[in-house]
Amino acid sequence: MESLSSLSSANFMGFVLVALAALIDVIANLLLKQSNGFQKKLYGISAIFLVLLAFYLLRLALKHMPLAVAYSSWGAIGIIGTLIGGRILFGERLNAIGYIGVVCVLCAVVLLKMGEIDG
């Protein structure tokens, strides 16, 4: 398992790209909610554009890291970011079981990264 100090610059770049892609995807999710089923077209079109940009950044990240690690990291960041954004902007909440699910997702990402094999 790599320590933070031994991460290669390529691996670090992969994580930066995944984090950026995920944050853009979170914004897209929030815009999609705000579009009210595409009744507010500018929000909906903006969401589509941002999703395409997020996938482009994910494609770049895959040059630096395995798909399973990249996609699970994106998913975890997306879940947490959307959870926070939904709470702040729309007053949405989870119950205790929902928060346990978030912890499980985070554990899965950590385990996938720990199980990564170079090659």
pLDDT, averaged per 10 consecutive residues of the chain (119 residues), comes to: 58 94 98 97 98 98 92 92 96 95 90 74
Q: Can you give the residue range of the structural domain that contains 35?
A: 1-115
pLDDT, residue 68, reads: 87
- Tell me how far apart the 2 most distant CA atoms of the chain are, in Å: 49
pLDDT, residue 25, reads: 98
Q: In 3D, which of 27, 20, 24, 26 has the Cα closest to residue 61?
A: 20
Domain count, the chain: 1
pLDDT, residue 99, reads: 92
pLDDT, residue 109, reads: 85
The Cα 86–Cα 80 span in angstroms is 10
